[in-house]
Homo-oligomer: A and B are copies of this chain.
Amino acid sequence: MKGLYFVTDRGLCGAKPLADCVLQAIRGGAVCVQLREKDVSTRFFVEEARRIKALMAPFGVPLIINDRLDVALAVGADGVHVGQNDMPYEIARKLMGPKAIIGLSVETWEDVERAQGLDCDYLGVSPVFATPTKTDTKEPWGLEGLARIRAFSRHPLVGIGGLDAGNAEAVVTAGADGVAVVSAICAAADPYTASRELADIITSALAKRGGR
Within the complex, which residue of B43, B74, B85 is in contact with A42, where a contact is CB–CB below 8 Å?
Answer: B85
A42-B85, A74-B91 known; 15 new pairs, CB 8 Å cut-off, are A42-B86, A42-B87, A43-B85, A43-B87, A43-B88, A46-B87, A46-B88, A46-B91, A68-B70, A69-B70, A70-B73, A70-B95, A73-B95, A74-B88, A74-B95
A109 at the interface (CB under 8 A from B): no
Decide if B91 touches A41 in the complex (CB within 8 Å).
Answer: no
Binary per-residue interface labels of chain A (52-92) against chain B in the complex, 1 for a CB within 8 Å, 0 otherwise = 00000000000000011110011000000000111110010
A152 at the interface (CB under 8 A from B): no
Decide if B85 touches A44 in the complex (CB within 8 Å).
Answer: yes
Measured between alpha carbons, how far is A23 from B73 in the docked complex, in Å?
32
With a CB–CB cut-off of 8 A, which chain B residues contact A68?
42, 70
Decide if A67 touches B91 in the complex (CB within 8 Å).
Answer: no
Measured between alpha carbons, how far is A85 from B46 in the docked complex, in Å?
10
Measured between alpha carbons, how far is A86 from B70 in the docked complex, in Å?
11
With a CB–CB cut-off of 8 A, which chain B residues contact A87?
42-43, 46, 70, 74
Measured between alpha carbons, how far is A177 from B74 in the docked complex, in Å?
31
* Nearest-Cβ distance from residue A60 to partner chain B, whole angstroms: 25
Output the residue of A43, A70, A73 with the most chain B CB within 10 A.
A70
With a CB–CB cut-off of 8 A, which chain B residues contact A88?
43, 46, 74
* Nearest-Cβ distance from residue A90 to partner chain B, whole angstroms: 10
* Nearest-Cβ distance from residue A202 to partner chain B, whole angstroms: 30
Measured between alpha carbons, how far is A162 from B74 in the docked complex, in Å?
33
With a CB–CB cut-off of 8 A, which chain B residues contact A84?
43
Decide if A67 touches B85 in the complex (CB within 8 Å).
Answer: no
Measured between alpha carbons, how far is A91 from B76 in the docked complex, in Å?
11
A–B complex contacts, Cβ < 8 Å, 7 sampled: A42-B68, A42-B86, A42-B87, A43-B86, A43-B88, A46-B87, A74-B91
